[in-house]
Amino acid sequence: MRTTLVLAVSLLLASTALGHARLTASTPADGGTLAADSATVTLSFSEPLQPRFSDFSLHFLGENADAEATRGNRLPRQAPDVDPSRSRVDLALPDASEPGWYLLDWEVLAEDGHTTRGKLRFQYQP
């Protein structure tokens, strides 16, 4: 009985974990630096996304990496470039982006209907 219960709980947790598109990598890494030669942020996920129902919001924080994201520092929306497998997203910084810290708030919807959210802070040095 105990073995059956442990197995059932393990399967339930495994199926729950498999149902979310986890961020597996980013360029730059959280807290990292984006150089001028590549003014594009890349997010890679563990599962295909539904790009139409995913959201990416970029905020300019200036010199303060710990500043809060507000409507006042939100940059115009850029359409993300999604790879054919729909598990990688490239988001270009707007033209004439200033040096300093940025915050990318993201919310993605996996093909199975589960939503995942996250934040990525990085410094841009053109």
Query: What are the structural domains of the chain?
Result: 21-125 (2.60.40.1220)
CA dist., res. 57 & res. 40, Å (int): 14
pLDDT at residue 42, as a whole number: 97
Q: Residue 122 and residue 25: Cα distance in Å, rounded?
A: 14
pLDDT of residue 11: 39
According to DSSP, the β-strands at 115-125 and 100-109 are: antiparallel
The amino acid present at 15, given as its one-letter code, is S
Query: Which residues of the chain, if any, have pLDDT below 50?
Result: 4-17
Tell me, what's the pLDDT at 5?
A: 41
Per the CB < 8 A criterion, the answer to whether 92 and 81 are in contact is yes
Per-residue model confidence (pLDDT) at position 35: 87
Per-residue pLDDT at 60:
96
**Which residues on adjacent β-strands are paired with residue 88?**
44
| Residue 18: its H or E element | helix 2-18
Q: How far is CA 94 from CA 64, 85, 111, in A?
A: 20, 25, 28
